[in-house]
Amino acid sequence: MTVLIIDKIRLVVTSTILFSLLLVNIASAQIDYYELIDTSVLHDAKFRLLEKVNTDSLEFSPVFYDGGLVYVSSWTNPKKKIKSKRKGNFYKLKMLIFDDNGNVDTIEDFADDLKIKNHKGPCAFTQDGNKMFLSRNKKGTIKIKDKEKDINPMGIYIYKYQNGYWLSEGELPVNSYGYKVFHPSWDEKTNRLFFASDMPGGYGGTDLYSIKYIDGKWLELKNLGRGINSEANEAFPFIYKSKYLFFASNRKGGKGGFDLYLSIQIDDEFDFPVNLGPRFNSRSDDFGLILSDDAYFGFFTSNRPGGIGKDDIYKFISDKSIFRIFNNYYTLKIVNSKNGKPVENARITFSKYKLVPTESPRIEKIKGVEKEIIYTIDPRSLVESKPVFSDNKGEYFLRLKDRSYILKVKKDGYLPYSGLLKTIDGNKLIEVKLIPEILDTFQFSFLDSDSKERIENVNIKLEGGLENNIKYKKDKYYVVLLRGQKISLEVNKDDYIPKKIEIEYGLTPSKFDILLEQKPKYVKYLPVEKGEVMVLKDILYDYNSAKLSAKAKRELDKLVNHLNKYPELIIELSSHTDCRGKKSYNLKLSERRSANAKKYLVNKGISANRIIAKGYGETKPKNRCVDGVKCSEKEHAINRRTEVKVVEK
């Protein structure tokens, strides 16, 4: 038994850490320490008393410092004559230094320059070793009506190491004359100090708390909750890698007095603790456990039989890491499939499922191997969990009863993931690679359909008013598409025919040009300048006919005379149809019409090289009459036309 508080108000701390056994919320069964401690390694681990350290009195609560250990040791001051049960027995700090072989080399008093008349209890240090959090009495005892009474039996005080001395930097703001505050453990990563206290508002005798150091102030005082704290006493916390909390408790269900327990932090809350089992916990008191960074060795305190004194420090060591998470404990890591970077705040759900025989077994190829499918997932068995979210490392620590779960992960900007929870024996990391939805950038330019020269300052409208998604740089346009996305562009440019363009991921090339055709320069006379266009009014066709009428021939005769007058002209003779009928048929029909017109001109003596015959079908209507629009016969007739355009002069 270790008495840390003087006189009548005493905290009895036996050699146990952490909490008692509770129920697993998913598995509905007790968590056993076998799930957290590698028992095959632990079986071979060596437990031994720390040589040269333990005396016939009390040595307890070691903490790592400067390559050695600082621990609490009791001593008797014969000059002290305090009328109390502890007589002249006081607690001080000592430091042991190891030699190159890991054995105890020297032991010396620690921080002896602190002229503290009363107890120095368990302490903790920052990572650089320049700041110490020390459990100690503030003023000792006072007499009230000839009776001794404690004033603030214990508090946590802060010291800074400077120029070879430990200088006071004050105390925790939660220190009080009315209750005890002690057993500090510092977490460098989160700037949070863990400690024990019997302050009002707790769940039992002494509870575990934490408080955070933010911008020079101690804030966010937090009781670690009913899962950690019981109706009994919890003490001696040790926070390991910002996630695992070792502590001592004398709650019901332990092996003896105080037992050592372990709890894991999940979503800023510590989960149900587990008892560390018979190697660590005896029928006596076991407490004050600390663990090396690689978990190959550590120290704890016990007053179990076979020791030297009342409380002794033990060392445990193994050839392998003793502490590890396995069985139904996993770390789920969400990463970007392209660059491997973690994806934080991803939405994660789990669905329990059952397999049932399939009604019709079938053969399927799975990764190139034919397998018979005889079981399928019963959809009625699927019950989705409440969502959880990955942290800033893309991780989520999970505990599952078994592996019969469907895992779903969602995150904006990524394709949803759904698959069976897959684990590899011995590997506690489950990695899920999310495929970014933004997969490709398309580059395009606008060219004149005749000259093939680049066109600038084109007006582009994108569906939904998302024009900002299109970037312009060095005569090129860029748009980023999501997987499976298709967008439509409306393109407008002065003196060019408006055009609609569709860009679709997987179908459209990543680089392409868009040809824009200049608007026809319609004239009322036979054209003589390049680009001028005239509709040969009387070259009209009956529906579904390519035959030239008498009127059409007379109109073409005028064109023969015009071409003879201007022998340098090269023309395009284009034929167009209305929108009725199939597009493919209309295209062929227009080609036959323009070919017949060209043939007539050639028969009249015009060189075939001066005439380009083209059929456009229904692709270039002159009015509103397109597929799906009701029009009169007169309106349809306007689109059945032949045009002459000067292309060279």
Question: What length does the chain have?
Answer: 649
Q: Are residues 172 and 221 in the same domain?
A: yes
pLDDT at res. 641? 86
Q: Are residues 159 and 183 in the same domain?
A: yes
170: in domain: yes
Q: Are residues 409 and 448 in the same domain?
A: no
322: in domain: no
Q: Is the pLDDT of residue 87 over 60?
A: no
Q: Is the pLDDT of residue 7 over 80?
A: no
**pLDDT classification of 402: cutoffs 50, 70, 90:** low
Q: pLDDT tens digits, residue range 259-283?
A: 999 888 876 788 878 888 888 899 9
pTM of the model: 0.50
Alpha carbon 387 to its chain's center: 14
DSSP character at residue 520: P
Q: pLDDT tens digits, residue range 416-468?
A: 998 887 655 555 678 899 988 766 788 899 998 888 889 988 888 876 556 66
**Average of per-residue pLDDT values in the chain:** 81
pLDDT at res. 366? 59
142: in domain: yes
Q: Kindly state the average pLDDT of the residues 222-238.
A: 94
324: in domain: no
CA distance 345 to 348: 9
Q: Are residues 480 and 391 in the same domain?
A: no
Q: pLDDT tens digits, residue range 548-564?
A: 888 888 889 999 999 99
**pLDDT classification of 59: cutoffs 50, 70, 90:** very high
Q: Is the pLDDT of residue 82 over 70?
A: no
**pLDDT classification of 505: cutoffs 50, 70, 90:** confident
Q: Is the pLDDT of residue 46 over 50?
A: yes
CA distance 582 to 574: 19
Q: Are residues 42 and 61 in the same domain?
A: yes
Contact between residue 444 and residue 477 where contact means Cβ atoms under 8 Å apart: yes
323: in domain: no
How many other C-beta atoms lie within 10 A of the C-beta of residue 458? 18
Q: Kindly state the average pLDDT of the residues 532-546.
A: 75
CA distance 429 to 351: 19
DSSP character at residue 2: E
What CATH number does the domain containing 399 carry? 2.60.40.1120
Nearest Cα to Cα of residue 343 among 432, 241, 265: 432
**Contacting residues for 396 by C-beta, under 8 A, at least 6 apart:** 331, 332, 334, 348, 388, 389, 390
List the single range of 242-246, 372-376, 551-555 with lowest mean pLDDT.
Answer: 372-376
Contact between residue 264 and residue 227 where contact means Cβ atoms under 8 Å apart: no
Collapsing DSSP to helix, strand or coil, 367 comes out as: coil
Give the helix/strand (H/E) hosting 587: helix 583-603
Q: pLDDT tens digits, residue range 468-486?
A: 678 888 788 888 877 677 8
Q: Are residues 271 and 174 in the same domain?
A: yes
pLDDT at res. 21? 21
Nearest Cα to Cα of residue 136 among 106, 169, 105, 171: 171
> In the chain, how many domains are there?
4
Q: Are residues 473 and 568 in the same domain?
A: no
Q: Are residues 201 and 128 in the same domain?
A: yes
Q: Give the phi and the psi of residue 591 in degrees, each rounded to 5.
A: -65, -40
**pLDDT classification of 489: cutoffs 50, 70, 90:** confident
CA distance 534 to 562: 13
Range of the domain at 539: 521-648
From 516, 539, 556, the end of a domain falls on 516
From 395, 417, 434, the end of a domain falls on 434
| pLDDT top residue among 147 and 210 | 210
CA distance 639 to 625: 8
152: in domain: yes
**Contacting residues for 231 by C-beta, under 8 A, at least 6 apart:** 203, 204, 205, 251
Nearest Cα to Cα of residue 274 among 260, 292, 287: 260
Which residue intervals of 489-581 are DSSP H helices? 550-565
186: in domain: yes
**pLDDT classification of 8: cutoffs 50, 70, 90:** very low
What CATH number does the domain containing 106 carry? 2.120.10.30
Q: Are residues 310 and 457 in the same domain?
A: no
How many other C-beta atoms lie within 10 A of the C-beta of residue 536? 18
From 394, 419, 434, the end of a domain falls on 434
Nearest Cα to Cα of residue 321 among 297, 299, 296: 296
Q: Are residues 103 and 237 in the same domain?
A: yes
Q: Are residues 510 and 550 in the same domain?
A: no
Nearest-10 Cα torsion for 524, 529, 535, 536:
90
Longest Cα–Cα distance of the chain, Å, equals 140
Q: Are residues 233 and 297 in the same domain?
A: yes
227: in domain: yes
How many other C-beta atoms lie within 10 A of the C-beta of residue 296? 17
